[in-house]
Amino acid sequence: MAIEIRTTVLAAMSLALAGCDDVADGGGSNEPRPTYAALVADQDALYDETVGLSYTDPSTLPITGSANYEGVMTMGSGGAMPEMAGELTLDMNFADSSLSGGASNFVTEDGEEMTGSLDVASGRILTDIDVSEDYTYGALLTGQLEDEAGGDYDFAGGLAGDFLGEDHSHAEGIVEGTVMTPDGVDYFEGEFITER
């Protein structure tokens, strides 16, 4: 499902990356790694759940508490970076209008398992915007993934999106930025969808 491109906070976030050198290590897990096909199927199932849901009015979001969203991120470049999918977690703190999270367990379209993870940080939730023109939330997306041959992929970009439904049951959006690959610098873009 293509995400409608609106005025984005990603450009402003990329300027903040100049002072960011933190790279997530990517924790370990003993659970089996999902396949690329399974991740895409999970993403499609989440999109099916949102059929008929409209963007959540940001002014109706809670002003206390927090919520954890889990789902799938897919991204690629059409160039030096392979198409890949991974698991995404977003922690939305409504009390202080912040968000954080991470993405891991990436697998390429060809079935290659990537190690490492991406960090979602310095995020903000905006409640005083027109959702038809701006994204409701945005954050930096940085980190490093490594392919099975030992090649590094260093990501520096952003994530932005909106909540869906009257009870903000889902959160979806886009990712974009630059990635340093074993073959040089490339531009990546993709999308994600999560649910509470």
Q: pLDDT digits over 34-66, tens only? A: 999 999 999 999 999 999 999 999 999 999 999
Q: Which domains does the chain have, with CATH numbers?
A: 10-27+38-195 (2.40.160)
Supply the pTM of this predicted model: 0.86
pLDDT at position 48 is 97
pLDDT in tens, 89-143: 999 999 999 999 999 999 999 999 999 999 999 999 999 999 999 999 999 999 9
**Banded model confidence at residue 22, pLDDT cuts 50, 70, 90:** very low
- Please provide the size of the chain in residues: 196
Q: Say if residue 98 is exposed, middle or buried (CB neighbours under 10 Å; 0-12, 13-18, 19+).
A: middle
Q: pLDDT at residue 9 above 60?
A: no
pLDDT at 7 over 50: no
